[in-house]
Chains A and B, each alone.
Chain A
């Protein structure tokens, strides 16, 4: 089972680099499928109610799909782009399944001052986050991409910068603004 996708993903990444746009579309389902399986097995082990930690999953998916294959930087960027997409979709689906959909009047407003520190992914409503991200994508694609790579693919600032071909300071600035904006979108109206 493990040899199939690994070679396929590596092949696709190389095809993307060679300029085959179709391979990019083919990559996502593969990565998604791998992440979904991983997520399912993680969820089976975690205590009920726990939300997935994207970093660990993507990390694991990477090892499984690319592993020791020689893939250069540019291609890794494609992989993480796809992984972030997949992760986002998985988290939204998971949230929907759990019936954590809170929208409109049900959305609880939390005064900023009362928020506990150190929020983790458990407390994020991924359905609302997904919607906010969509709005962000329409207006500032680069900033949205930073969120995808930083949060959904778990990349560091430096790695995100390298994948996107921008400076780390740019990523940092976008990331700061994106977090604050999303937080506000999720917590204010």
Chain B
């Protein structure tokens, strides 16, 4: 209505209305962020609209009064009588087929308002009153919150029958639901109350016979909507049956529609009317409440003659709710809006339970309906709780899906996988066929769609009959949780071998076999059983390639899956070449901008990343980001993910500035585009925090990581594994800062919580324990570290065996501890054994193997077995140069150690050669534009301490240390101490002493005494006479 560009006019209520209306259409979680952005600069405006939204959501009932209806009650009517019987007539409140309803007042025996229904002329008054009175005593037994009682029946002076009942100031239930935009679940909850009211009546032997929206009114009691069923006993007393007489007025006009009337009521005989008759009408009411329209178009009924109406009610099978909804096509906008749902979600929600429950309730055959209203209610409640409903067709798929959903938490991984297994195939097939549709003519589309449908059906059939049959008995016995997904899958895998073999069920249906293989393979892949997955995914690739061609969509997908398998199985070079093949084919067949092409690109970039080829990975992610930004816009989650991935690749590639600026650019976008508390936001914070930490900007890093932790605590809970990872990050940060005591406290917390949540043998628990032990080592608490590591080693050996990577990491740390403590025998023993196992299991070039090799070389050095140590360091250096590059910190550290070994052997030329290379690299890095403070300090330290001494350069070291200390507002003790040494070596003794004192000042309270002593020793060195240097 109002254009946003007109800033002046668009500032008052109009703007508020626009903001309110647009925000209301969003998911609640997204509103605040959106509003904050929209109201930039006006917190007052934003707060006001937020308050309004809250008021709206709270549904305070403010200004809400039950409306009157012009159509029904305002129609010109006969003059209202002053009084009827003992009741004074106030005014008319409704008019229906049978007569007029008045609001009336009773003065005796108590003063109260009642509704009085005056039956139209033409009814046999005597028999109406007699029939009512016959049931009157039973009616008096009705006493239920959701029943409005009929109090009395009588006859006016002019002989017209009337009924007096409790007055309900409410609206018909369907109108109430729509007026208040109740969601499907809220509607179902109201409907359950209605069922209970009917059940109550049925138990007293009272059948309502005329359930329809205008007889189920919703009133607010203390702000809570309460449905009330009115008119009990009236239908029976007035003998409402579908007769020409009751259906049409004397002028041939139809009174209302018989939409809610059951087939047995449509029979003139009227035998067999029982509780299930009400169940039928309830079913129609339910249908209307959820779908928004009646099972049969009222217009159709209206146009039909009497006999035709009977035929429709008796014989015509109505569409399922989901089908009926779909058939409404474009007319569903208002229906969806009234249910606060979009069209697809609505269709999905209706399909399944709600279809079956409704259809069971309105079955033509009373024997196949719910036997009682309470069973109908119970099934709806089961649906609301995600339990299997009794109305389901006899399908294992369905039961399994229910089982999986109900145990979402308990069997998370397996359940999700199985869910994906069951629903995924169809979804995937349709998704891919859609991609394909764009390129084909309409005729081809139809063929393709039906072919896809055929495959989906066949796959589902296989899952039902072969796979899930195995699960069924356990589920039915309630042993659901004990079902081992793997067993089921392996059983299915055997079936497919038989079915796919020559003469088997799928021998001549290669694409069906491929689809099933794909499903099984992907599921096994998710379960982590790569060996079992491989033959299926390979076969799927072969079948699709052979029968569809290498550049077919089916083949591309199959290749992508196989690549995914190899990636997970650590066969990264195979994964890479397959993924590149998939990307090339997708680019060629689908075009560079197709979503599937972009997915393939993302996957290839991920593989590069895993292979440590960060620059290539970053360049692909960068292409991906550009494409997605252009196609999807920057607020799309996919675009944001691409930005996040690019930033991670940059950070790994040590392009920290680039990573930082990307993260700083995209964090606000993510905050704005994604719902508050979205996990991606926590990832952005974590990654930016890590990047800044590496750049030495620790305080900001800490605040970002703390925010990530807070979000996770709030969104997923304090004990969620992601939350614990965030705590673990902060612990590592403290550890990096040298705040070992803080780090130890945090690691202890994480370790304890992980032990509780994940179990003591979980790899992450052991990782936290190991880090804790490592921190103990830094805190000089060697005994605690040793105790912890040994305990961990026990757990890991028991759980994983001694040849497992997790166990080996604990062993490595224990060896490292022994080395630190100069317990060289023990170090040599444990590292020797470990190295052998690692070389065998992980390969000689695995990073853990190399770590142990370094410990071994270091131990040999300390034992003065220089030539052995030299040999090992040389091996290490060769591998690291080749795999990580010459300037990698690990490579550099080995160069320094090797130089030391040469010096110890007095092989000065070799020492000089390796150390000058090391220094050249350090200076290159330290002089680079992106150099961090710690890189500069490292270089300064090397320039100060190099041996042979002719490589030292104190002036250069001073410049570097000075710059480095200037980069931080409060340089830490270590940085200051390096600066002090540089000052001392360049002759500025006074400054050196001042700086060193400041360094000592800045030492943490928890600094281990030996380290503190080293700082003090350096100060003494400065204080000594110059010639004593």
Q: Which residues of A contact B (CB under 8 A)?
A: 53-56, 58-60, 62-63, 67-71, 76, 112, 115-121, 124, 135-136, 139-140, 143, 147, 150-151, 154-157, 159, 162, 168-169, 172-174, 176-177, 179-184, 188
Contact = CB atoms under 8 A, between A and B. Distances in A.
Contacts, number: 142
A56 B103 contact: yes
Contacts of A68: 76-79
Query: What does DSSP make chain B's interface, helix, strand, loop or mixed?
Result: mixed
Given A63-B80, A184-B55, 15 more contacts: A60-B90, A71-B76, A117-B60, A118-B61, A120-B61, A139-B13, A140-B14, A154-B67, A155-B68, A156-B67, A157-B67, A159-B67, A168-B334, A180-B53, A183-B55
A184 B19 CA distance: 15
A69 B76 contact: yes
A144 to B, nearest CB: 10
A173 B61 CA distance: 16
A65 to B, nearest CB: 12
Query: What does DSSP make chain A's interface, helix, strand, loop or mixed?
Result: helix
Interface string B211-224: 00000000011111
The 9 closest A-B pairs by CB, nearest first: A117-B223, A118-B223, A180-B52, A156-B67, A139-B13, A68-B76, A118-B61, A159-B70, A180-B55
Given A69-B76, A115-B60, A169-B334, A177 B52 contact: yes
A180 B59 CA distance: 9
Given A156-B179, A180-B20, A53 B65 contact: yes
Interface in B73-89: 73-74, 76-80
Given A54-B65, A63-B91, A154-B65, A176 B223 contact: no
Nearest to A2: B79
A183 B62 contact: yes
A121 B220 CA distance: 14
A184 B68 contact: no
Most buried by B among A55, A156, A180, A182: A180
Most buried by B among A69, A154, A156, A182: A156
Interface in B168-220: 171, 175, 179, 181, 220
Contacts of A69: 76
B648 to A, nearest CB: 42
B114 to A, nearest CB: 14
B867 to A, nearest CB: 78
A159 B69 contact: yes
Contacts of B13: 135-136, 139-140, 143, 181
Contacts of B56: 176, 179-180
Nearest to B48: A184
A54 B888 CA distance: 81
Contacts of B71: 159
Given A169-B334, A180-B55, A155 B67 contact: yes
A76 B67 contact: no
Contacts of A156: 67-70, 171, 175, 179
A62 B222 contact: no
Contacts of B92: 63
Interface in B32-54: 48, 51-54
A1 to B, nearest CB: 14
Interface size class of B (residues with CB under 8 A): 35 or more
Contacts of B61: 117-120
B438 interface: no
A184 to B, nearest CB: 5
A61 B946 CA distance: 103
A130 B976 CA distance: 71
A62 B90 contact: no
A67 B74 CA distance: 8
A33 B763 CA distance: 83
A135 B110 CA distance: 45
Given A68-B76, A176-B56, A188 B68 contact: no
Given A56-B91, A154-B67, A176-B56, A76 B51 contact: no
13 contacts: A59-B68, A67-B77, A67-B79, A68-B76, A115-B58, A117-B60, A117-B223, A118-B223, A135-B13, A155-B68, A176-B20, A180-B53, A183-B63
B17 interface: yes
B16 to A, nearest CB: 7
A177 B77 contact: no
Interface string B2-15: 00000000001110
B529 interface: no
B66 interface: yes
Contacts of A181: 13, 16-17, 20, 52
A81 to B, nearest CB: 13
A124 B269 CA distance: 56
Contacts of B74: 62, 76
Contact of B223 (A116, A169, A177, A183): A116
A43 B115 CA distance: 21
B21 interface: yes
B70 A169 contact: no
A119 B68 CA distance: 19
Interface in B332-388: 334, 337
Most buried by B among A54, A76, A119: A119
A140 B20 CA distance: 14
A147 B63 contact: yes
B70 A155 contact: yes
B301 interface: no
Contacts of A71: 76
A112 B67 contact: no
B627 to A, nearest CB: 37
A70 B91 CA distance: 19
B67 A117 contact: no
A128 B905 CA distance: 95
B66 A118 contact: no
A182 B179 contact: no
A58 to B, nearest CB: 8
A135 B13 CA distance: 9
B179 A157 contact: yes
Contact of B55 (A55, A60, A121, A179): A179
A180 B17 CA distance: 10
Contact of B12 (A67, A139, A162): A139
B67 A177 contact: no
B24 interface: yes
B52 A55 contact: no
Nearest to B338: A172
B919 to A, nearest CB: 66
B629 to A, nearest CB: 33
A115 B92 CA distance: 34
A182 B63 contact: yes
Interface in B871-929: none
